[in-house]
Amino acid sequence: AGGGDLHTAAIISNLQYMMENQGIGDNYNAPVFHWCYKRIGEFVPQLIDEGKEPRVMLEYSGTLFHGLRAMGLHDALDALKNVTCNPAYRRGVEWLGCPWGHAVAPSTPTQDFRLHVKAWQHHFAAIFGLEALGRVRGFSPSEMALPNHPDIAYEYIKTLVDCGYQWLLVQEHTVEQPENGWGPEKKHLPHRLVCTNSKGETVSIIAIVKTQGSDTKLVAQMQPYYEAKSLSRWELAGKSVPPLVTQIADGENGGVMMNEFPGKFFDSVREASGSDTPFMNATEYLEHLFALGIKEADLPTLQPQFQKRIWDRFQPGGGPEKLEKVIAELKQEDGRFHMEGGSWTNDISWVRGYDNVLGPMEKASSQFFEKVLKPKVSPSDPRFHNALFHLMCSQTSCYRYWGQGLWTDYGREICRRASSIVETDF
């Protein structure tokens, strides 16, 4: 909040708050955070100019793009633009799409989630251009959250496919094999994530399985590289292929990421370049597989966790009411069974204990639907833009991570503003 009075304070980025209050807590890290958002734009050209082959995948939310621009940190965006658009460097960086406001998919209204996905694409294209957007093929879900309710999971994957995505990053413990309900066996090979809804409609997308927790230490110390070095080739569709080890971490959050990542990244890229274990981005890896003659249909199948237990009792096409009855029965039989989806951690719920945020969020969402989406207000209308900005800001995951307190207050206040804007302006 950019000010002491919550009702009137400007909405500012967390980085701006840190910059303006460097004497509080660890806010003295603000200049380092700024550098973290920029530094891939420095590292990749440096390594390529050395004759090395760095690879890195990036996910920046729309709120981060917005915050950097609002603070005037154009140097960070210019450095990223160079590695994204310059033909000499762009092979080193693969951008992943994401929800504009870092929204957790299982508990974000589905029509709003689609708005997040499309808004991010528009925002990215405005910064980096349409040609660069055309190269964004993979999707990185906020908090690695994957819906497992059949109807929500179906809408989620359908949104991604409709918006042109080819593949999705999934956390290893949020998916299961349809035949036995176990987790994926060959985690380092791509899979097909298949989602069927209560009406019997099916949609699928390629899934790149992310292993381990979202541990900044593992990524900062380049554990994926050392793990990849220890693996041999695997068979896929009758072909011998190298496995792809995929992990993700916050790019700035935590001492190891801020301080240890640069040295480890440089060392491992220098060692890996030209070796049998090169760095590779996921779209590039998939292109190599397809060039071998492997097709999407050849990939092993996965579905969201706990769905086998549903399909054992429910025939797809049975309709939403019957599905809800089956879900209620399963919940009654087993306290661990849930339809909240999975994320990078099993230790927290993005739903339980957050009724005081989810209630106002759902109210703002339904008001936006009734007053803005249903009457088909033009997205180029400044009123649409302002209302959508507040709605998407209100759905950021942080308001449902830290427990009750200041962050839930922020979330509720932004929901109040979103509701008020929709009611007043339309």
**CATH 3.20.20, domain 91-253+265-323, yes or no:** yes
Among 52-61, 251-260, 340-349, 365-374, the range scoring the smallest mean pLDDT is 340-349
The pLDDT of residue 349 is above 80:
no
Neighbours of 426 (CB within 10 A): 16
Taken as a whole, the chain contains a residue count of: 426
> Which of 395 and 1 is assigned the larger pLDDT?
395
CA distances from 217 to 125, 169, 247, 325, 424 (A): 32, 20, 11, 43, 47
DSSP single-letter state for residue 87: T
What percent of the chain has a predicted confidence (pLDDT) above 70?
Answer: 97
C-alpha–C-alpha distance, residues 414 and 426, integer Å: 18
Among 35-44, 54-63, 342-351, the range scoring the smallest mean pLDDT is 342-351
DSSP single-letter state for residue 183: P
Give the pLDDT confidence score for residue 213 in this predicted structure: 63
pLDDT (average), residues 38-67? 98
The pLDDT of residue 215 is above 90:
no
The pLDDT of residue 229 is above 90:
yes
pLDDT band at 350 (very low <50, low <70, confident <90, very high): low
CA angle 250, 252, 258 (to 5 degrees): 125
pLDDT band at 388 (very low <50, low <70, confident <90, very high): very high
399, HSE (Cβ side, Cα atoms, 13 Å): 27
pLDDT (average), residues 361-378? 95
Give the pLDDT confidence score for residue 255 in this predicted structure: 86
The pLDDT of residue 341 is above 90:
no
pLDDT tens for 186-208 read: 999 999 999 999 999 999 999 99
Closest CA to 145 of 188, 116, 187, 179: 116
pLDDT tens for 13-26 read: 999 999 999 999 99
Amino acid at 293: G
Contacts for 62 with CB less than 8 Å, ≥ 6 apart: 99, 100, 101, 116, 119, 120, 123, 392
The pLDDT of residue 345 is above 80:
no
C-alpha–C-alpha distance, residues 104 and 109, integer Å: 10
pLDDT tens for 75-125 read: 999 999 999 999 999 999 999 999 999 999 988 999 999 999 999 999 999
Helix (H/G/I), strand (E/B), else coil: 169: strand
pLDDT tens for 136-180 read: 999 999 999 999 999 999 999 999 999 999 999 999 999 999 999
What six digits make up the tokens of 165? 């995505």
pLDDT tens for 264-318 read: 999 999 999 999 999 999 999 999 999 999 999 999 999 999 999 999 999 999 9
The pLDDT of residue 348 is above 70:
no
Q: Considering the chain, what is the average pLDDT of its residues?
A: 94
Closest CA to 56 of 217, 253, 220, 166: 220
C-alpha–C-alpha distance, residues 377 and 383, integer Å: 9
pLDDT (average), residues 342-364? 77
What percent of the chain has a predicted confidence (pLDDT) above 90?
Answer: 84
Contacts for 262 with CB less than 8 Å, ≥ 6 apart: 39, 43
Give the pLDDT confidence score for residue 214 in this predicted structure: 61
